Amino acid sequence: MISLPPNERDLHAYVDHQLSDADRRVLETWLASHPDEAALVRAWQQDAQQLRAALSGALQQPANPALDPALIRQRRQRQSRRHLASAALLLIAVSIGGFSGWQAREMTLVRASVLPMTDALQAYRLIAQQGLLPADYQVDNDGDMQRWLDRYFTQASRLPDLTAAGFEPVSGRLLSTDEGPAAMVMYEDRSGHKVSFYVRPPGPKNTFLPRGRRSDGDLQAEYWSGDGYNYAMVSPTDLPAAQLLKPLQPF
């Protein structure tokens, strides 16, 4: 039983229908003779009611198929390896302009694995293929891209010159990986083919790489180390210029 006069907590409980019927009646009787408290309670009730009305629209959003439990279950089974990472490393970019949380979450999946420079391939998939993550930097003049990269990776190798193969640097992005901050420079040719140049530190274990090449699905990566960083160039395996690019790399 509440005691009279009621404390503020009782008034809230009244507004929120969390009093027993008996207490509710006691309080109602008391409020009838206490206009100030009654006005406050009415205002709270009104606010709550208006809030309910205002937020009821948010229940009517069009369904998002990605949220279907059955689908999530299936995906979890398919990607049990990845799901922990995605749930645990979810990044919500509530305060980062131009980033949606999902992109950011995918980005956190850009993590080095046993295979060399997997993060470079993942970054290519996210950015070049899925079109996620707006550019941190867009080229508007010659030489800009190199200057942009130099701001972050002062000692890094020069950007490869791929003009002979028809590729020009167009945009740059900064990424966060388990191995440290990374930068990815995207090159494009006139038909919109994309090739990426990726640079990051060798990571906490100082994993320097012998020069190598591997393919992963529809992508191929050339990778190497030098000047204290690891590098990769990623391109689609079916890229007509793929063969052209290879001898052009000055590393």
Give me the least distance between CB of 54 and other proteins, in Å please.
4
Interface ranges with other proteins (CB under 8 A): 8-9, 12-13, 16-18, 43-44, 47-48, 50-52, 54-55, 58-61, 63-64, 66-70, 72-73, 76, 83-84, 86-97, 100-102, 104-105, 108, 136, 152, 174, 176, 181
Residue 100 or residue 249: which is nearer to other proteins going by CB?
A: 100
Q: Sign of the C-alpha dihedral, residues 66, 68, 71, 73?
A: positive
Residue 7 or residue 163: which is nearer to other proteins going by CB?
A: 7
Give me the least distance between CB of 136 and other proteins, in Å please.
7
Residue 180 or residue 226: which is nearer to other proteins going by CB?
A: 180
Q: Which residue in the block uniquely carries the two structure tokens 């080229």?
A: 139
Give me the least distance between CB of 94 and other proteins, in Å please.
5
Residue 9 or residue 211: which is nearer to other proteins going by CB?
A: 9
Residue 204 or residue 217: which is nearer to other proteins going by CB?
A: 204
Give me the least distance between CB of 141 and other proteins, in Å please.
19
Residue 167 or residue 229: which is nearer to other proteins going by CB?
A: 229
Give me the least distance between CB of 48 and other proteins, in Å please.
4
Give me the least distance between CB of 226 and other proteins, in Å please.
22
